[in-house]
Chains A and B, each alone.
Chain A
Amino acid sequence: MILEPGILALILLSLITSGTILYALRHIVPILYAWDLKSGSEGQLQLERRTYLLSTLLTWAFVAELTSLLLLVYTAENLHERFTGAMCAAGVFNLNAFGYPALLLKLGNFLLAGCWLVLNRADNSARDYPLIRGKYLFLLVLTVPLLAEGVVLGLYLLNLQPDVITSCCGSLFGSRAVGLGSELAVWPMRPLGLVLLLAYVLNLGSGSFVLRKGRGSYLFALSGLLVLFLGISAILSFVAPYFYELPSHHCPFCLLKADYGYVGYLLCGGLLVGATAAAAVGVLQPFATRPSLRQIIPALQRRAVWLGLTLFTLCFLVATLRIITTDFTLFG
């Protein structure tokens, strides 16, 4: 293990999040079993009080979870000079078998935790705890990937060996490499760009429909997730080479460097937060008909749609502007 402030902070955050989840689990089960809002018993009163604590604790834990993704990426980027062979965060994640699984779990959990936070917000806005069972059931499901992330991240950070020679991003995302990253990197530009554009137009259309008619939430959520997947593939396949002006360089992590104006944070962060907002619109939809949520959920959904559409559009504009304005071209 390397005693680096960033690593210590990540371990601390992971311990706090996992500890909070375990503490919450202990109190969720009685709520799921014995919750009865009509009852005025001492037990029910205790449960109602307990929900305030759980809601606050979990909100903090999930906000910590969201920020720790940024911290993980930045720490890896910061550490690359320490390891022979690593040119950016890509090589640092490749140092042992747990690096990329930890990153992928963190990305997935970002999406799930974001949805839970929106659900919690809706529940707290209503007077009669309408989503109490729903959000805690969701939390039970969330527990597995969150705890798995804690374990995998711990294994990754504790097993960082300074003498390991790792691969640079050129070989990890190159055409001769094996793995998901390199598979996505060799997707052809024209068909991928076209499909991505279609997904974006679908997302834009369904989003406007949600805003005007209040319907089409599921389509918006699905197309949002599709934009995220295709957007990341596009960054690997052709957007990154346009920023580097190098047809063979597909690394998404080098975009996080100051040399490229930290544009990677905007592109990947925008896609991820946008997709989380889109997914949250879908997650809220089944509860939209509950009497106490009739006003609250559509308002929340509208805000999420605006956020998702704004971020996706921003990412598209930034990438397209670069492709148009640079002298470099991938069209031979």
Chain B
Amino acid sequence: MTGWCERQRNILDVALASLRRRRGKNLSLLVVYSLTVFLGASVMFYSAGLKREARLLLSAAPELVVQRLSAGRHDLIPVAYAEGIRTIRGVGTVAPRLWGYYYDAVYGANYTVQVPTLPPPAGEIVIGPGIARLRKVAAGDLLPFLSYRREDLLLQVREILPAESELVSTDLLLLAEADFRALFSFPSGVATDLTVTVRNPQEVATVARKIVERFPDTRPILREEMQATYAAVFDWRGGLLLVLFGVVLLAFIIFAWDKAAGLSAEERREIGILKGIGWETGDILTLKFWEGTSISLTAFLLGTLLAYVHVFLLQAPLLAATLKGWAVLYPDFRLVSRIDAFQLTVLFVLTVIPYTVATLVPSWRAATIDPDSVMRD
């Protein structure tokens, strides 16, 4: 075993020296290879991060949300509908929800305003960490708002929400019902929508059907539908980019094949001399294996590191516009940085394996060069 290791170490030494001798050619390969890994890794890390955030967000969503439609558009729903829905067999609780968006003209940001189940006392608010950062406030400070009647509304910050998952809480503003209605001049007797719990989870679809039968101007939305829609949106966007990445990968493989196949006269002479002094075909193949592995591992490491910095530290400036899309509602949403072994394995399979396969045949051609013919040339 020690002998085997020593032998591999020596061949690796020769491989590294050989790579150093053709610095220009190998550096250009390394740059293109790293960029390919970087692209693939960025798409994977970013779409996985978005999906993770969306899943976290939706796991706490109500089983069923009922909205009212007016001419096909979302409209305010009369609270009286809740009574009617409650009488449907299988329905647990029905609760009206008050929520909306407040545009802060001074800072150019949108806040999600909501009256929670356990609202803070009137005159006080609970805000997300993003708003706290933006408005530079802490618990106990007063925050001014401009109501729809152009009146000032001063609300005291009761507490700042913990930043467990930024996507959920960054732009959230929780307040009392009276303050909500005052802020938006919201008419009484209506709500934004209704949340419905169903006693038997398997009957959610049946309950939804009954609600539409009884109130034809409503639209029930199931939690599964929301989850599937989010997953589909992020998958579709990520998948689209991955397919484009496939084209990049193909171009890279052709490039790598070309680099590996185009042996210079000097390289041919080197291999000829090695074989002349007793190296066997198998040894030359091992040499080529170590050359490829050194380049692959360096490029993989570099590309992954760059993608990590790009996605988690810089928030993916190259991809955000395409992948995040309408989720930009959030003024400052940062992905929680997390990479798992599965993502790295998949990335390895998608980048290093095609490169290795593309360079195997050229390596073999190089390894089976006749020493005498090379030296005679």
User: Which A residues form the contact surface with B (CB < 8 A)?
Assistant: 2-6, 8-9, 12-13, 16, 20, 49, 52-53, 56-57, 60, 64, 67, 70-71, 74-75, 78, 81-82, 84, 124, 162
Q: CB-nearest residue of chain B relative to A4?
A: B235
Known: A12-B353, A13-B353, A82-B231. A53 touches B364 (CB 8 A): yes
Q: How far is the CB of B167 from chain A (nearest CB, A)?
A: 17
Q: Is the CB of A78 within 8 A of B281?
A: no
Q: CB-nearest residue of chain B relative to A48?
A: B281
Number of chain B residues close to chain A: CB under 8 A: 34
Distance of A52 Cα from B367 Cα, bound (Å): 9
Residue numbers in A under 8 Å from B347 (CB-CB): 5
Q: CB-nearest residue of chain A relative to B249?
A: A12
Distance of A70 Cα from B348 Cα, bound (Å): 14
Q: Is the CB of B242 within 8 A of A5?
A: yes
Q: Is the CB of B350 within 8 A of A56?
A: no
With a 10 A CB-CB cut-off, give which of B238, B281, B364 has the most chain A CB atoms.
B364
Mark B349-377 against chain A: 1 for CB-CB distance below 8 A, else 0. 11001101100110110011000000000
Q: How far is the CB of B270 from chain A (nearest CB, A)?
A: 19
Q: Which residues between 230 and 271 of chain B lie within 8 Å of chain A, taking CB atoms?
A: 231-232, 235-236, 238-240, 242-243, 246
Q: A3-B240, A20-B357, A49-B281 are in contact. List 8 more A-B contacts (CB 8 A).
A: A5-B347, A5-B350, A12-B353, A16-B354, A56-B360, A60-B356, A74-B345, A82-B231
Q: Is the CB of A71 within 8 A of B360?
A: no
In the complex, B224 has a CB within 8 A of chain A: yes
Q: How far is the CB of A167 from chain B (nearest CB, A)?
A: 14
Distance of A119 Cα from B363 Cα, bound (Å): 23
Residue numbers in A under 8 Å from B134 (CB-CB): none
Q: Is the CB of B349 within 8 A of A9?
A: yes
Q: CB-nearest residue of chain A relative to B281?
A: A52
Known: A71-B349, A81-B55. A5 touches B44 (CB 8 A): yes
Q: How far is the CB of A55 from chain B (nearest CB, A)?
A: 9
Q: List 30 A-B contacts (CB under 8 A).
A: A2-B235, A3-B236, A3-B240, A3-B242, A3-B243, A4-B235, A5-B238, A8-B350, A9-B346, A9-B350, A12-B350, A13-B353, A16-B354, A49-B281, A49-B368, A52-B282, A53-B360, A53-B364, A53-B368, A56-B285, A56-B360, A56-B363, A60-B360, A67-B345, A70-B345, A74-B345, A75-B342, A78-B342, A84-B224, A162-B232
Q: Is the CB of B360 within 8 A of A57?
A: yes
Q: Is the CB of B357 within 8 A of A60?
A: yes
With a 10 A CB-CB cut-off, give which of A5, A13, A20 has the most chain B CB atoms.
A5
Known: A2-B235, A57-B360. A162 touches B350 (CB 8 A): no
Residue numbers in A under 8 Å from B361 (CB-CB): 53
Q: Nearest 4 pairs between A and B by C-beta? A: A3-B239, A9-B349, A53-B364, A49-B368
Distance of A52 Cα from B288 Cα, bound (Å): 13
Known: A5-B44, A5-B343, A60-B357. A52 touches B368 (CB 8 A): yes
User: Which B residues form the contact surface with A (CB < 8 A)?
Assistant: 44, 55, 224, 228, 231-232, 235-236, 238-240, 242-243, 246, 281-282, 285, 342-343, 345-347, 349-350, 353-354, 356-357, 360-361, 363-364, 367-368
Residue numbers in B under 8 Å from A13 (CB-CB): 349, 353
Residue numbers in A under 8 Å from B360 (CB-CB): 53, 56-57, 60
Distance of A74 Cα from B345 Cα, bound (Å): 10
Residue numbers in A under 8 Å from B239 (CB-CB): 2-4
Residue numbers in A under 8 Å from B224 (CB-CB): 84
Distance of A81 Cα from B228 Cα, bound (Å): 10
Q: Is the CB of A71 within 8 A of B346?
A: yes
Q: CB-nearest residue of chain A relative to B284?
A: A52
Distance of A12 Cα from B347 Cα, bound (Å): 12
Known: A52-B282, A84-B224. A12 touches B368 (CB 8 A): no
Q: Is the CB of B282 within 8 A of A12?
A: no
Q: How far is the CB of B51 from chain A (nearest CB, A)?
A: 9
Q: How far is the CB of B1 from chain A (nearest CB, A)?
A: 10
Distance of A20 Cα from B361 Cα, bound (Å): 11
Q: CB-nearest residue of chain A relative to B361?
A: A53
Q: How far is the CB of A124 from chain B (nearest CB, A)?
A: 7
Distance of A84 Cα from B346 Cα, bound (Å): 25
Distance of A67 Cα from B345 Cα, bound (Å): 10
Residue numbers in B under 8 Å from A49 (CB-CB): 281, 368
Q: How far is the CB of A83 from chain B (nearest CB, A)?
A: 10
With a 10 A CB-CB cut-off, give which of B236, B282, B367, B368 has the most chain A CB atoms.
B368
Distance of A27 Cα from B232 Cα, bound (Å): 45
Residue numbers in B under 8 Å from A4 (CB-CB): 235, 239
